[in-house]
Each structure stands twice: as structure tokens, then as C-alpha cells.
Amino acid sequence: MSAELNNVKKDDRYNKNEYQLLGILLQYPDKIDEVADLLEVKHFLDPQAQIIFDLLLKQYQQDNQISRTKLLIDLQNQNYVDQAEEIIERLTSGFNTIDELDPTIDLIKKDYQRSLLQRASNKLQELTQANNLTIDDYQARAQEIIFQATNESSDLEKHIYNMEEVLMESFSNYMDRKHKKADVGLRSGFISLDNLIGGFKRGHLNVIAASTSMGKTAFAINIAKNVLKRKAKVAMISLEMDAAEVVDRMVIQESQVNAWKYTQGETNDEEDQRISKALDNLHELPLMISDERGLNTAQIRARLRKFKAQMDGLDLAIVDYLQMIQLPEEHAQNTSRAVGQIVLQLRNLASELNIPVILISQISRSFTSRTDKRPVLSDLRDSGNIEEVADGVIFLYRHAHTSAKAREEAEAEGTESDTNIIIAKQRTGQTGSITLFFEEEFIRFVDPENLSLEGTIPHG
């Protein structure tokens, strides 16, 4: 018996709908498959009904059938309920027609949904009594409570289709793509990359990973600026850099003014004019930034939902970076598992918001012991199941930054700015690699297919 059931408090409540369903199952045991596909143990509100349904499921899984006699023996032997014989008699004494099965399932679903909303209401009431929270904390926790209640209710509906239904939807989507009516992916603005991955897909989580100083944050900001200039709505959760630093990077990229001179205020008149023009180009772009440190996934979810509402839509979210997200307390002692939970929650968030989410991550230093130091999936720091959960994994690799000797060799060959963009995983596209140039002076990447990238970003 599961821990969840062991912890259920016994009470005297008799739930007519739940016991009627259990009676139908004992009378028509061949219907257990149908019911098991629509209901779980947690959907029963009566503790004894939970126990009985769980035992029936276990019987079916072990013996491919259910038995009234075995149910009685299990209830008596394990001492799960009081008056086991009386309960069995109650379940089997009446007569239920098979026509009552579907309506009874629907009633149990409705009761469960009401209970979720009632629990959410109670939690919201408790939240109002807390005095040590900030306004953002109140909003994040309230949204999380409501999300859990409504999202869990929606999970009751199974996404099951027959071949004809799926083929019709698949063909319709194909025709929309063929006639340019469908969103085939958010273009990054790097033509070589877009040709390989086909853009970032809605509902997908994409991890951009690299070791320190490879330019992963600069790359993500570069992508954000590129898509913003096509009026795509972008939200950025910056857990390391201040919002002003993020925008400074965009201004430097846009104005092509030396980053050191810009940050030190050492620009000349001509450079000041370029900066002024860059500010004009950027100031109306639909970008929202959160730069609070130490957020957890619930707070990140709340921020992104809020941004989506404020901007009346959202096309891309960037989270910088994974290792700065607060770990769940229940998994704090197991970093790998905690990181896996965070990545899974962010992937679910991408699906919930129906947008691509880019998650920046560091990689471990295990690559330093290899002759070939190009990163691979196993290098993801505390990887857990990142490579399994993420829809796409993109590594950045700059050979010139792996050692002093490598830099000398790259400088001699004129390849010190070469950056390999390695698509190590892509659920709906190709894997492979491309090369971009990193202009350190402007903290930006340039696609060699078109060195004037800003003027040639594909539209549509």
C-alpha cells in the first residue's frame, strides 16, 4: 500500500458516487481498463474508497482480473478498513446497470475538481494571514496555488486520438506550413542556425550550454535582440546580470561601439551618435526583464505569466541561468535530481505558455581531461536528466579559449573569433554544427553567411 494511502485519515463519510462506481466494477470487472484510464486513486475523496480502488487496480495488474473474494481477504489481512465484510456487502447488495458507469465517472471527476478548488481557496485564505512576504511572493504563491488546482483538473482529460483524427490534423498542419500559414519556429536571426534547426518551436525547452567565458549569455541576448527587432515579444529572467547590464549588451551590439569604451564613458562624438541611434531603435521593442536573484521555478512561472498578460502575448522566454535557480527544498540534498525537476518544470512551462523557452546552463569541467574538448551531452553540469527532458541542446565551443596554447594557435591561424555552435540534440530538427564569429569588442555573434546580419534578418 502506498505511503499516500497509509497517511489517509479514516472518516465516516460515505460517498455515494464513489461506492456506486466500485460496485459497478465488482459487478462488471471487465470495465476496470476503461475506468483505470480515466480515474486515479487520488480522484476518490473517501479514504476507504481510495483503498478499495487501489486494491482493485493492483489485483488487475497482477492477475488480469478482479475478485470480490480476494478483495475481502486483502482488506481483512492488512486491516486497511473497519468492518470489511459490511463494506463488501454494501458494494454488492445493489444492482447497477452498465449505463450508469460513464455518468458516475463524470460525477466523481466533478467532485474531485470541486475539492481541488476548495483546497486552493483554503490555501489562499491561509496565504492572506502571512505577514512576512513581499508583494511578489504573494503574487507568485497565489498564482502557483491557482495553477496547481486548475492544471491538475485539466489533466483528467486524456489526449487520445485514433489514426484518422491524427492524420487529418497532421495533414492540415502540413498544408498550413506549405502555404506559409503556420508558425514553423521562431527564427533566431542567425541564418546558418535557422537553416539547421528551423527556428525555436513553441512549447519546446532549448538548453544553451557552455563552459565559463564562452559567451552563452551574449549569444542568448543576441538572439533576443534579433527576434525583438521583428517585434516578437520577449521575456528574460536574468538571475545573474542586472536588467541595465542586459540592455547595455543590446545597446553595444546594436551601436557597434567598443564595450569597454561604452562602460567607461570614453566614447567620442561619432560613437555617441551611434549609441543615440541604437537607443532609438531599441526603446519601443517589446521586452520585459526580471533581474531578481534566487528565484525558484514557481516564481519564474509567475513572472512569465505576468509578463505574458502585460504584453498581451509572449513569443520567447530566456532564463539565465539554470545553476542560479533556487533548488526545491525537498531535493536540496540531491542536486542532480533537483536540477532534473527544475528542467522538467521549465519544459512544462514552455508547453503551458505555448512559447519556446531558452535555458542557459553551465557545463562541468570534465571536458578539460579530454583531448577533444568540444562539449558533449554528458558534460552538462549536474545533468540529471537534462539531456532527456530538453527538446534541444545547443553547445558553444571556442577552441581559442580552452588554453593559452590554443589561443596562440588560433591567433596565428586567424581563427580566434571562431565559435562552434553545436546542435547536440534537436527533437524536431537536425543535429550538427555551424560556425559563428564572436566579435569580442561588441560582445556579439555574427553569422559568416551574412556579416551584416542586422540588415538581413528574415521577416515573417
Range of weakest confidence among 83-97, 145-159, 227-241, 376-390: 145-159
The mean pLDDT of 418-444, rounded to a whole number, is 89
> pLDDT confidence of 255, banded at 50, 70, 90?
very high
**Is residue 4 predicted with pLDDT exceeding 50?**
no
304 located within any domain: yes
Reported as a single tens digit per residue, the pLDDT across 236-246 is 999 998 899 99
Q: Are residues 386 and 442 in the same domain?
A: yes
Q: Are residues 215 and 357 in the same domain?
A: yes
Q: Are residues 250 and 131 in the same domain?
A: no
Q: 73 has which bridge partners?
A: none
**SS3 state at 161:** coil
Q: Are residues 133 and 193 in the same domain?
A: no
**Is residue 54 predicted with pLDDT exceeding 90?**
no
Q: What is the pLDDT of residue 235?
A: 94
**SS3 state at 234:** strand
The one-letter amino acid code at 3 reads A
Q: Are residues 237 and 366 in the same domain?
A: yes
Q: What is the pLDDT of residue 159?
A: 53
Instruction: Please give the tally of structural domains in the chain.
Output: 2
Q: Are residues 78 and 139 in the same domain?
A: yes
Give the chain's mean pLDDT: 81
DSSP 45: -
| Per-residue b or e along 373-386, where b marks 16 or more CB atoms closer than 10 Å to that residue's CB | bebbbebbbbbbeb
Model confidence, pTM: 0.65
264 located within any domain: yes
Choose the most confident range, by mean pLDDT, from 70-74, 371-375, 440-444. 440-444
| Per-residue b or e along 104-121, where b marks 16 or more CB atoms closer than 10 Å to that residue's CB | bbebbbebbbeebeeebe
Half-sphere exposure at residue 403, Cβ-oriented, CA atoms within 13 angstroms: 11
Dist CA 338 CA 365 (whole Å) = 20
The mean pLDDT of 310-325, rounded to a whole number, is 91
Q: What is the pLDDT of residue 61?
A: 67
273 located within any domain: yes
The mean pLDDT of 59-84, rounded to a whole number, is 76
Q: Are residues 71 and 195 in the same domain?
A: no
CB atoms within 10 A of CB 450: 14
Q: Are residues 113 and 197 in the same domain?
A: no
Q: Are residues 221 and 290 in the same domain?
A: yes
SS (H, E, C) 254-319: HHCCCHHHHHHCCCCHHHHHHHHHHHHHHCCCCEEEECCCCCCHHHHHHHHHHHHHHCCCCCEEEE
The mean pLDDT of 52-56, rounded to a whole number, is 86
Q: Are residues 126 and 204 in the same domain?
A: no
Q: What is the pLDDT of residue 206?
A: 94
Which range of residues forms the domain containing residue 347? Answer: 189-453
The residue out of 121, 149, 177 marking a domain boundary is 149
Q: What is the pLDDT of residue 237?
A: 93
**Is residue 102 predicted with pLDDT exceeding 50?**
yes
Reported as a single tens digit per residue, the pLDDT across 256-302 is 999 999 988 888 999 999 999 999 989 889 999 998 888 888 788 87
Q: Are residues 327 and 416 in the same domain?
A: yes
Q: 194 has which bridge partners?
A: none
CB atoms within 10 A of CB 446: 20
The one-letter amino acid code at 331 reads H
Question: Residue 262 sits in a domain of what CATH number?
Answer: 3.40.50.300
124 located within any domain: yes
Q: What is the pLDDT of residue 396?
A: 93
The residue out of 149, 173, 203 marking a domain boundary is 149
58 located within any domain: yes
414 located within any domain: yes
Reported as a single tens digit per residue, the pLDDT across 394-407 is 999 988 877 788 88
Choose the most confident range, by mean pLDDT, from 121-135, 179-193, 214-228, 300-314. 214-228
Reported as a single tens digit per residue, the pLDDT across 23-45 is 888 888 888 877 877 788 888 88
Q: Are residues 70 and 195 in the same domain?
A: no
Question: Residue 109 sits in a domain of what CATH number?
Answer: 1.10.860.10
128 located within any domain: yes
207 located within any domain: yes
**Is residue 369 predicted with pLDDT exceeding 90?**
no
The residue out of 119, 149, 179 marking a domain boundary is 149
